[in-house]
Amino acid sequence: MIKVTYVASDGTKTDVEVHEGNSLMHAAVANGLDGIIGECGGSAMCATCHVYVDEAFADRLPPIDDMEEEMLECTASERRKTSRLSCQIEASSEIDGIVVSMPETQI
Amino acid sequence: MSGGVVIVGAGQAGVQTAFSLRQAGYADAITLIHDEAVLPYQRPPLSKSFLKEQQDEEALAFRHRDVYDDHQISLLLEERVLQIDRPNKNIRLATGSHLAYDHLVLACGASNNRLSIPGAELPQVLDLRFLDEAITLRQALANAKRLIVIGGGFIGLEVAATANQLGLSVTVLEAADRLMARVVSPEISGYVLSRHSAEGIKVHLNAMATNIQENKEGQLTVSISSGEELSADFILVSVGVHPNTELAEEAGLETDDGILVDEFLTTSDPDISAVGDCARFPFAFDTSLIRLESVQNAVDQARCLAEKLTGNPTPFQAVPWFWSDQADVKLQIAGLTPTADQTHILGDLESGKFSVCCFNEGVFIGTESINSPADHMASRRILASNRTLSPTEAGKDGFTLKAFASGQ
Ligand SMILES: Cc1cc2nc3c(=O)[nH]c(=O)nc-3n(C[C@H](O)[C@H](O)[C@H](O)COP(=O)(O)OP(=O)(O)OC[C@H]3O[C@@H](n4cnc5c(N)ncnc54)[C@H](O)[C@@H]3O)c2cc1C
Ligand code: FES
């Protein structure tokens, strides 16, 4: 289990214990956080799991592949340097304590 | 006590309806009836990642148990609805009790079609729709060497691609003259066939399985219409689905290969709605009656219904979209493209990254993309807007869907 902090667009913080191997998208949705939708179930096909990753953790994440890169260009909320698809981020001890902010809208 | 909203079926559509109702401020009781013992879960990974990774079942659940409680959604597990008593507005459950409703939502989904050929009932002939079936399939993939997939649609091909990646010898039998014929253009069918063939999957087109036999060692032999015989350790049957309409039919609701609903997703009884795979509805883009089997359709209909039930009825007019994840082939479809009479390809097939723009009588109806998510997302935006895209425009030098969608 690692700790992930999700910050909603209004600033509300929620800490979630996530099993290693689970995606940050799934953990958010399964715990009923409204800021992430995850419609495609994690196939990098819908861009409704967009998050901004705290910069301190950015370089501990796997690189962005071509599909994710293109999907990130099509997110409903603005893309920033720290944008990622949370379905492509797996919980691991490497990123214990990671903080991700959820955008205003996913659709 | 008021019965509130009772939802039959806790698949993608039923679960989304429950949560969207709460999000829209619905304050009365919500009861969600699920006929399995496990928490409601998503199906798309069942033919993809779930078969490959030792993913636990928890990773498939839509929501944890306590989230239903927090949202005051009463989730009944291992319970089935047997009958609807419309005059008294209540339902009868398999465990014997009755439940009253103010509004009833039928989110009953669909069931897999079966093969009616000799041998189809053998235990090595598998089906895939439910979690327990996916677990059986995953075990078979881990232990066997040769798989035959009957049916070359999305799900059959996803399983075939996954099995091939896992090192099995895989053969696909498709009765039509091309793959995914019901849902994509011949261009995409041809491309996907070439990719899977290059990866070593053997595909037989125009091939009907006519008979399955088991020898003493439990090996299977499948006879096909050409007279050929193929052997396998096990078989996956993936030959389409039919909507679960029995409950609606017995209650006297109008059905026709789906529970008939209007643009507000209301059935022939104003106190009953239907959403997801089981509903046949008027397509906002051409008014024909259609039934779709996709997550997007289930989710968008559920959201639209929740708005209606909280006093904001708007006609259902979401742009349909689909995806299929077949190893390295990421297929995305925006719009409904089977009626295309003209296509235009953007990008090139060689690069494995291209899109087929589809037109009907000169009107843009959608795009089928391979590994081109930007084209897909742009096409959805174009379809949702009132802008018209002509084949001539799409054929101009330097045309991109993305630039067109942003009005350039
Ligand atoms: C293996 C697989 C892979 C898929 N991949 C994709 C994909 O990549 N992309 C995509 O868009 N779509 C995909 N789909 C399709 C998608 O999962 C369905 O369109 C979606 O699940 C439809 O949701 P639904 O709620 O309408 O129906 P369902 O998910 O079928 O749920 C209906 C539920 O109602 C229950 N039920 C029925 N009658 C009763 C009753 N009387 N009482 C109680 N419960 C009842 C059923 O048992 C079922 O659990 C896939 C489907 C499968 C099977
Ligand atoms: S869940 Fe769809 S892109 Fe991440």
pLDDT of B285-296, one tens digit each?
A: 988 999 999 999
A68: closest chain B residue by CA: B373
Cα B166 from Cα B147, distance rounded (Å) = 11
Residue B146 predicted with pLDDT over 60: yes
How many beta carbons lie within 10 A of that of residue B122, not counting itself?
15
Catalogue all structural domains in chain B, each as residue range(s) with its CATH number.
5-111+241-309 (3.50.50.60), 114-237 (3.50.50.60), 328-405 (3.30.390.30)
Residue B260's pLDDT is what?
A: 98
Residue B111's pLDDT is what?
A: 98
With the most atoms of ligand 2 within 8 angstroms of its CB, the residue from A67, A72, A87 to mutate is A87
With the most atoms of ligand 1 within 8 angstroms of its CB, the residue from B41, B50, B112, B295 to mutate is B295
Ligand 2 pocket, residue A25 CB under 6 Å: yes
Residue A58's pLDDT is what?
A: 86
Looking at the CA of residue A37, tell me the nearest atom of ligand 2. Answer: 1
Ligand 1 pocket, residue B358 CB under 6 Å: no
Residue B1 predicted with pLDDT over 70: no
Question: Looking at residue B166, what DSSP letter applies?
Answer: T
Residue B287's pLDDT is what?
A: 81
Residue among A30, A39, A46 minimizing CB distance to B64: A30
Residue among B42, B67, B330 minimizing CB distance to A31: B67
| Domain membership flag for residue A83 | yes
The ligand with the least distance to the CA atom of B94 is 1
Residue B100's pLDDT is what?
A: 97
The ligand with the least distance to the CA atom of A36 is 2
For chain A, residues with pLDDT lower than 70 are none
CB B293 within 8 A of CB B124: no
Cα B60 from Cα B137, distance rounded (Å) = 16
pLDDT (mean) for B175-196: 97
**The domain that contains A59 carries what CATH number?**
3.10.20.30
Ligand 2 pocket, residue A42 CB under 6 Å: yes
Q: Which structure tokens are listed for B109?
A: 């989904």
| Domain membership flag for residue A107 | no
CB A71 within 8 A of CB A64: no
pLDDT tens-digit map of B335-379? 999 999 999 999 989 999 999 999 999 999 999 999 999 999 999
Among candidate residues B233, B214, B211, the one with its CA nearest the CA of residue B222: B211
Cα B315 from Cα B58, distance rounded (Å) = 35
- B406 SS3 class: coil
Residue in this structure with the two tokens 């559509």, named with its chain if needed: B13
- B260 SS3 class: strand
| Domain membership flag for residue A89 | yes
Mean of per-residue pLDDT scores for chain B = 96
pLDDT (mean) for B311-337: 96
| Domain membership flag for residue A97 | yes
Q: Residue B97: enclosing H or E segment and its boundaries?
A: none
Mean of per-residue pLDDT scores for chain A = 94
Q: Residue B346: enclosing H or E segment and its boundaries?
A: strand B342-348
pLDDT tens-digit map of B15-28? 999 999 999 999 99
- Asked if B63 lies within 8 A of A32 by C-beta distance, the reply is yes
- Asked if A45 lies within 8 A of B296 by C-beta distance, the reply is no
B44: closest chain A residue by CA: A41
| Domain membership flag for residue A106 | no
Residue B55 predicted with pLDDT over 80: no
Q: Measure in Å the smallest separation between the Cα of B377 and chain A Cα atoms.
A: 6
Cα B129 from Cα B8, distance rounded (Å) = 18
Domain of A6? Answer: 2-101
Which residues is B370 bridged to in the sheet? B331, B354
pLDDT (mean) for B137-146: 97
The ligand with the least distance to the CA atom of B240 is 1
Residue A59's pLDDT is what?
A: 87
pLDDT (mean) for B67-86: 98
Q: How many domains does chain A have?
A: 1
- Asked if B295 lies within 8 A of A41 by C-beta distance, the reply is yes
Residue B56's pLDDT is what?
A: 78
Q: Does B103 touch chain A (CB under 8 A)?
A: no
| DSSP symbols for B179-236 | TTTTTS-HHHHHHHHHHHHHTT-EEESS--EEEEEE-TTS-EEEEETTS-EEEESEEE
Residue A107's pLDDT is what?
A: 87
- Asked if A67 lies within 8 A of B330 by C-beta distance, the reply is yes
